[in-house]
Structure 1
């Protein structure tokens, strides 16, 4: 009887050893740390996916989607977004992650990258996942990121989710813009601070799973600074130091090829057809604008001034004259 029990224990230990050795290893691997076979397999899959996107072939693209994506018709909804992004830029792989999840409901991938450190927080099903991020090959001031999120199902590797979102504004990530905003605020340039905080928010989530370590501080600082600006400055603001007494009615951010910059809208008494007089007036405005709106021209490459003869109405397109100037 004793020998039978010992044999049973031995067989149990052997079975446990075999089970453990065959079980997938829990962990997270990034870029070159991913096993070569996995990396090659997923690289080929990424290539096929982008070939379908670039060819505007939504039927081929659907072959790479999970059953959940197909059932919800999510793939078709996202395909046009991917196609538009891919037409504007040639996207190349930035980072890739392979993970064997330890949690069923959610899991986290921490990524250490100095001030740009972040976490990828996602649902833990299926257990085996692969995440690939792509950025434009040719760097621009404003850059979008494409993220493909794969799951390993019993019917193979399939895309379980996709995202396309802003990664950089004016060549800076959200934490980098946040640093600029804090420097501006410390120098009492509150409009420069508010501007950069707004930009930092627009690229705070390069994909829906991405959370910068600075995110909580960013939103708290944004709330504080915007509250201060709204209390201290009420539009319209008359520029009494300018001979023509123009009125600043609005400041917002506008985007064009060079990036995203402040757009200062004002009402002038000078006719829009008199371009020479408008530009002389604008030169006067620039001499006092950073005192009236502290730092509005600072920490940016360009500023756009829009001159109107009537108060702008968001519901009506009014004639105006735009002037782009260098920031300070």
Structure 2
């Protein structure tokens, strides 16, 4: 986080504030959730309500009342507001955690978040002003959640939002560490593609806040790399499905995000004309019958497997027809 560009008179008396803060401020430290003094916490919650009212309405004008001048001047702030507003439509946000920081000096401050078992983590924050407030908001009602993180600073002209961001937090209802553990379980069963897909999702939501650090991130990255190397050795594309008489060729394995979660997506070429719907369906049924032998576990323990069938490989310069198939497993 870079707050050094905040162009306000506060900066000129920055050290004075650090040397002698208001008597009404608690002693230096980090106050978490209900440790935050009641009066302060109430004031912060009023700011949060004002913030999300403006975000929900996609109303930058009203938000300018609680944004710092630096936030107002940033060219991407309007896009952030629009993005968060759109995600609010997918699932309402609730306050997950909040931290009130009374800083004694400048520099990085690490908050250790414990007692959450596999989801323990650290939060690294730049202590740039004497008083700061970090609020983390999540969507508890949907499987693919996005976290909104907001940092307020007490500036010379009041408490203002100096940083706001939105990043993936869960995929298919699981956090990054939970996806990592599940990937290890799948790999132990020799479900390589499943494990790789899960690690891809784990990587996507490993940093829901830019200062969020999972203790297992290094081990997870090493495991992810080993899976990639193994998959590249085992699956050489295009992969001919020899068990099917028409011998379709898989050219890509990926995932498809839906409101219910994230599921495998398999792309393949077919010699059967897409206009021959009956023929495409018959071939796909044969593919579905053998896909578990080619990619063990791909058709187990999930709601769907998606297929996208082509007569010609898709590219960036033209529209290529396809036939979409959803295999509902349970």
Shared fold (TM-score greater than 0.5)? Answer: yes
In structure 2, the partner of 1:297 is: 299
In structure 2, the partner of 1:312 is: 314
Equivalent residue in structure 1 for 2:278, among 263, 276, 279: 276
More off after superposition, 82-91 vs 302-311: 82-91
In structure 2, the partner of 1:126 is: 129
**Structure 2 CA distance for aligned equivalents of residues 229 and 57 of structure 1:** 47
1:317 deviation in Å?
A: 2.4
In structure 2, the partner of 1:35 is: 37
**Structure 2 CA distance for aligned equivalents of residues 110 and 296 of structure 1:** 37
Whether 1:258 aligns to 2:243 is no
1:103 deviation in Å?
A: 4.7
More off after superposition, 27-36 vs 187-196: 27-36
1:225 deviation in Å?
A: 0.7
1:70 deviation in Å?
A: 3.0
Unaligned runs of 5+ in 1: 1-17
Contact 1:65–1:75 (Cα < 8 Å) also in 2: no
RMSD: 2.2
**Structure 2 CA distance for aligned equivalents of residues 318 and 129 of structure 1:** 52
**Structure 2 CA distance for aligned equivalents of residues 86 and 225 of structure 1:** 35
Contact 2:145–2:171 (Cα < 8 Å) also in 1: yes
Whether 1:135 aligns to 2:149 is no
Whether 1:285 aligns to 2:291 is no
Equivalent residue in structure 2 for 1:61, among 60, 63, 66: 63
**Structure 2 CA distance for aligned equivalents of residues 166 and 64 of structure 1:** 25
Q: 3-state DSSP class of the match of 2:117?
A: coil
In structure 1, the partner of 2:186 is: 184
Q: 3-state DSSP class of the match of 1:225?
A: helix
**Structure 2 CA distance for aligned equivalents of residues 157 and 44 of structure 1:** 11
Flag the 1:206–1:295 CA change in 2: closer, same or farther, 3 A: same
Output aligned runs, 1:85-234, within 5 Å: 85-112=87-114, 113-136=116-139, 139-234=141-236
Q: 3-state DSSP class of the match of 2:154?
A: strand
**Structure 1 CA distance for aligned equivalents of residues 297 and 303 of structure 2:** 13
**Structure 1 CA distance for aligned equivalents of residues 177 and 65 of structure 2:** 37
Normalization by structure 1: what TM-score?
0.87
Equivalent residue in structure 2 for 1:45, among 38, 44, 47: 47
In structure 2, the partner of 1:4 is: none
More off after superposition, 271-280 vs 139-148: 271-280
More off after superposition, 211-220 vs 66-75: 66-75
1:200 deviation in Å?
A: 0.7
Flag the 1:19–1:155 CA change in 2: closer, same or farther, 3 A: closer
Q: 3-state DSSP class of the match of 1:47?
A: helix
Equivalent residue in structure 2 for 1:238, among 225, 228, 240: 240
Count, aligned residues: 310
Structure whose alpha-carbon radius of gyration is higher: 1
Alignment deviations for residues 202-252 of structure 1 (CA, whole Å, 9 cap, x no partner): 111112121222222211111111011112211001111111111111111
1:80 deviation in Å?
A: 2.1
**Structure 2 CA distance for aligned equivalents of residues 228 and 265 of structure 1:** 20
**Structure 1 CA distance for aligned equivalents of residues 207 and 221 of structure 2:** 12
**Structure 1 CA distance for aligned equivalents of residues 329 and 181 of structure 2:** 18
Normalization by structure 2: what TM-score?
0.87
Flag the 1:19–1:129 CA change in 2: closer, same or farther, 3 A: closer
**Structure 2 CA distance for aligned equivalents of residues 189 and 311 of structure 1:** 27
1:68 deviation in Å?
A: 2.7
